[in-house]
Amino acid sequence: MPRIRRLSLVLVVASLAATARPALAEEACLDPANELGAAGARKGVQKRDFLKRLRAEISVWGGFWASDLLSSSYDYGGAVAFYPFEDIGFEVSLLVTPFSLAVEKPLTQFFQGQVFAPSIGFVLVGDVLWSPIHLKMRVSERAIVHGDIFFALGAGDTFSGTVQGATFDVGLGLKIYPNRWFAVRFDLRDYLMVQEAIAVQRTTNNVIGTLGLSVFLPGPRETRSEAKK
């Protein structure tokens, strides 16, 4: 009988130790001081270093304009955005680009007159920005840079004699945050508009690519759950 009691006691202690190990591992997992992989612990979701919620973004940019009807050229401009949520924002942007036609000179010589008059186009659109992908990039052994991949969808108007009707745009972009105030952004968008040149009128695709710099104001706004931590 004593041996049976001792054996039962050993089994009870072993079972308690086995059940205690997952609990200890779970506690270690919740401890933010533990390193990743130490004693089987894993860090959970960490809050972002860069926050956009309730902040305004002011951007300046420039790049190229590639049209399937007119000649390719450069563009420049800027944008103002506001983020009511961390991943959703509203942006108003302006692009300025020359509208010209490379075959204008030979056509002018052939028809003995001005066929296409070069002009400056102003593209003003409003977009909804959606940033579903947050990324981190290691730039050195001790530095990690955060970023977002975002999508844009909107509409507006193009102020030019060659364009009729509304202008629609769709695109995507990448923002890199070197600190909590500035961002470097890369945008690639397609502007759809009805254009006319040399008695030809059709819906055109105008692909633009821009590189810009953004400033976020005011300071970062923490959520309620982050403020309690």
Q: Give one DSSP letter per residue of 52-85, joined into a string.
A: -TTEEEEEEEEEEEEESSS--EEEEEEEEEEESS
Alpha helices in 73-204 (DSSP H): 104-111
**Which stretch of DSSP H or E encloses residue 117?**
none
Give a yes or no: residue 34 inside a domain: yes
Residues 107 and 134 in one domain: yes
CATH number at residue 143: 2.40.160.20
Residues 159 and 187 in one domain: yes
pLDDT (0 to 100) of residue 227: 53
**Tokens, residue 92:** 């108003």
Residues 33 and 59 in one domain: no
Residues 174 and 216 in one domain: yes
The number of domains in the chain is 2
Residues 151 and 70 in one domain: yes
pLDDT (0 to 100) of residue 61: 98
pTM of the model: 0.73
Radius of gyration of the chain (CA): 29
Distances (CA, A) of 221 to 149, 226, 228: 20, 10, 13
pLDDT (0 to 100) of residue 20: 45
Give a yes or no: residue 94 inside a domain: yes
Q: Mark 15-37 as b/e (b = at least 16 C-beta within 10 Å).
A: eeeeeeeeeeeeeeeeeeebeee
Give a yes or no: residue 46 inside a domain: no
- Segments forming the whole domain that contains residue 99: 55-228
Residues 63 and 113 in one domain: yes
Q: pLDDT (tens digit, 0 to 9) for every residue of the chain, 229 residues total?
A: 555 555 455 454 455 444 444 444 444 444 545 445 445 444 445 567 789 999 999 999 999 999 988 889 999 999 999 999 999 999 999 999 999 887 655 555 555 555 677 889 999 999 999 999 999 888 888 888 899 999 999 999 999 988 999 999 999 999 999 988 999 999 999 999 999 887 778 899 999 999 999 999 998 766 555 555 5
